Copies of this chain bind each other. A is one copy, B any other.
């Protein structure tokens, strides 16, 4: 016989007790696109909300090859050694396109995947980036209610997902490699300026000199950037995820940042801005998908785009005519 579905109250009760199995089932519910599941998931989230918010949320990005998984393994073990519980979530927009997620395999983190007090969850795979990111944002609430006081949100640094991650974490960490002067090859433009800390991996053995040089370059570059809204000056450190060198220093930086922004009020301010952001972002997403997913609009847009690209019509009158059709006929 199939297990009876829990009620929202039952889910919440178990989550608040820290029951990982039920937490996991609730996250599956959040990730489901079935309307019944969505309604139940939203109820669970609402009930968990008063118990959420007390974790430190760290976004971690770096291109494939930067040693991200090994690093998260090392960072995670370091965090767990100090006590508490760690959840590792992921946002990987490529999972939708390639049907195979770079960040989908839990066993990438060899040590964390068998550690007590660690909860690893691959990227949700269905729907738009907005949808995927929203599910991760909701999963954070559930994890926090379940007593996870450290949340990592992992992403790949090559797409739009960093803005979404940046909008749900307290600290944004960029993993880099020392290279040949093309250090940021592969990383999307704009991401460097989001970073609260840049850490250069594989600073071990004969690679130490190169890593130190890269560190100096990045420090100079960051020096030219405008001040961050938090007042924090982004740090550049070197470490080795594989040999577990400098892990403590990286984490001290994050602790220092959290203390700094809690003191100057930016921590709370940013959390509130993020909550507002997600409300408005959800609204804007839905306004757009209601429009762009309408089949009549799709074909009309196609026709107008052709006219615009051939300079037969201005972008503005084309837009106006599609909108007139939408507001006049469809709604």
- A: residues with CB less than 8 A from B are 42, 45-46, 49-50, 52-53, 134, 137-138, 141, 181, 183-190, 192-193, 217-218, 220-221, 223-228, 272, 275-280, 282-284, 286-288, 290-291, 304-305, 308-309, 311-320, 322-323, 327, 331
Contact = CB atoms under 8 A, between A and B. Distances in A.
As for how many copies of this chain the complex holds, the number is: 2
Contact of A308 (B223, B276, B284): B276
Contact of A305 (B185, B276, B317, B323): B276
A224 B282 CA distance: 34
B314 A46 contact: yes
27 contacts: A42-B314, A42-B317, A45-B317, A52-B311, A53-B311, A138-B314, A185-B227, A189-B225, A190-B193, A192-B193, A192-B225, A193-B193, A217-B224, A218-B224, A275-B308, A275-B309, A276-B309, A276-B315, A279-B304, A279-B315, A280-B319, A282-B316, A283-B322, A284-B288, A286-B319, A287-B288, A287-B291
B49 A313 contact: yes
Nearest to A193: B189
A50 B46 CA distance: 55
